[in-house]
Structures are given as structure tokens and as C-alpha cells.
Amino acid sequence: MTATKPILLAEDNPRDAELALAAMEEYHLADKVILCHDGAEVLDYLYCRGQFKTRLHGNPAVVFLDLKMPKIDGLEVLRTIKSDETLKPIPVVMLTSSREERDLAESYALGANAYVVKPVEFHQFLKAVKELGIFWGVINEPPPEVPGRHKS
């Protein structure tokens, strides 16, 4: 069951996205990744609306959230997810450049499941993304589906 669940990656920077996908590719996880370019797209995906209107229903295995994104930023998306009963169980991992205490504190206060600072060094970045992908996408058992209002 876990193998079929997608990994949602919210990353506005195409280079970061490419690097992340390159990392995922190492473990053949890349085809499971759904890339969103801003916070609004993430919410569209989660609520099956806009370009994701026709997608298969069901929550992703994990959401990797960047903090700084256009339109709706990471913290806002996190707040929305964690205040929605249906979305709440989705594990959310903050994947960001910021090591600021403020961001850390706020993310955890809003209910983030993990907080990972993107390492500058590519090999470490690779390692981090790979491990995250393996852990959240393969090892971790996601919460069972709860019927919600946006489900048919």
C-alpha cells in the first residue's frame, strides 16, 4: 500500500527541485514524487481541485514543504493541513534552507512532523533527501485513510 502512495514535494526553485528529484532517482523514488511549485498548488493537490481535479483521491505518503514559496508560503500550508481533520494525519516534513530558530519553533508549534535544513553540500543533500524519501515514502507506515468531506 505504501508503495502506491505518492510523495508530495513543494519546491518553488526548479534547481532545488531538480536536485531533489536527482537524489530521489538514486533510489528510484522519483516517479512517486509529485512536484508542486507553490503553496497554492499543494493545497490544490490536497483538496483535489484546479489542475488536480481529476487525480486519484487519497492523501500522499508525506509532504516535503519548503518554507519560502510564492503565493502561499510553507508555514501557511502547514497551518492549513494541520487544522483540517482529514489532512492532519499526513506527515509533513519541512525541508528548507532556514536554520532560524524562529522558523523551527513556529513549524513545530504548527505540528510539523520533522524539520530538515537542506545541507549546502550536495552529497549531504543527496543523503538527506534519499533518507527522507526512504523513511517517509517506504519505511514509515502512513496513517489509514479517513473519509473526509472532499472525498467522494
Partner 1 sequence: MQDLQREHAPPSETRGGVPHTRGEDRSGSRRSFAERLVVAFQRWSIERRVLVGFGLVFAGILVISAVSYRNMTVLFRNTHQDQRSHELIELLVGMGTRMDEAEIGHRRYLVTGDESYLKGFHILDERIPDYIRYARELTRDIPEQRQHVDLLNQLMQKQLEAERAAITLRGRTGFEGVRDIALTGVAKAELEEFHRIQAQMEHDENRSIYGRGIQSAAITRNTIGLLSVGAFLLFVLLASVYYLIRHDITERRRVAAELERRGELLEAANKELEAFSYSVSHDLRAPLRHIDGYASLLEKSAQQLLDDKSKRYLQTISESATRMGQLIDDLLVFSRMGRQEMLRSAVNLDQLVKSVLHDLRHDMQDRNISWSIGALPEVKGDPAMLRQVFSNLIGNAVKFTNTRPLATIEIGSDQSSPAETVIFVRDNGVGFDMQYAGKLFGVFQRLHRANEFEGTGIGLANVRRIIHRHGGRTWAESELGRGATFFFSLPTKMEST
28 contacts partner 1 (rule: CB under 8 A): no
Inter-residue contact 67 to 77 (CB < 8 Å): no
100 contacts partner 1 (rule: CB under 8 A): yes
How many residues touch partner 1 under the rule CB under 8 A: the total is: 21
Question: Shortest gap between Cβ of 15 and partner 1 (angstroms)?
Answer: 5
Question: Shortest gap between Cβ of 19 and partner 1 (angstroms)?
Answer: 4
From 31-39, 45-53, 90-98, 140-148, span contacting partner 1 (CB under 8 A): 90-98
Using CB under 8 A as the binding rule, the residues of this chain from 50 to 89 that contact partner 1 are 67-68
From 30-38, 82-90, 104-112, 123-131, span contacting partner 1 (CB under 8 A): 123-131
Dihedral through CA 12, CA 13, CA 16, CA 20, nearest 10? 30
Tracing cell 534547481 back to the chain, one arrives at 15
Alpha helices (runs of H) in the chain, residue ranges in sequence order: 14-26, 39-46, 74-82, 101-110, 122-134
Which residue, 55 or 99, has its beta carbon nearer to partner 1?
A: 99
Task: Please state, in angstroms and rounded to a whole number, the distance separating the CA atoms of residues 41 and 45.
Answer: 6
Rg for the chain (alpha carbons), in Å? 14
99 contacts partner 1 (rule: CB under 8 A): yes
Stretch 103-122: interaction string toward partner 1, x if CB under 8 A: ---------------xxxxx
Task: Please state, in angstroms and rounded to a whole number, the distance separating the CA atoms of residues 95 and 115.
Answer: 6
What lies within 8 Å, CB to CB, of 32 at 6+ separation is 5, 6, 7, 24, 61, 137
* Residues in touch with partner 1 (CB under 8 A): 13, 15-16, 19, 22, 67-68, 96-101, 118-123, 125-126
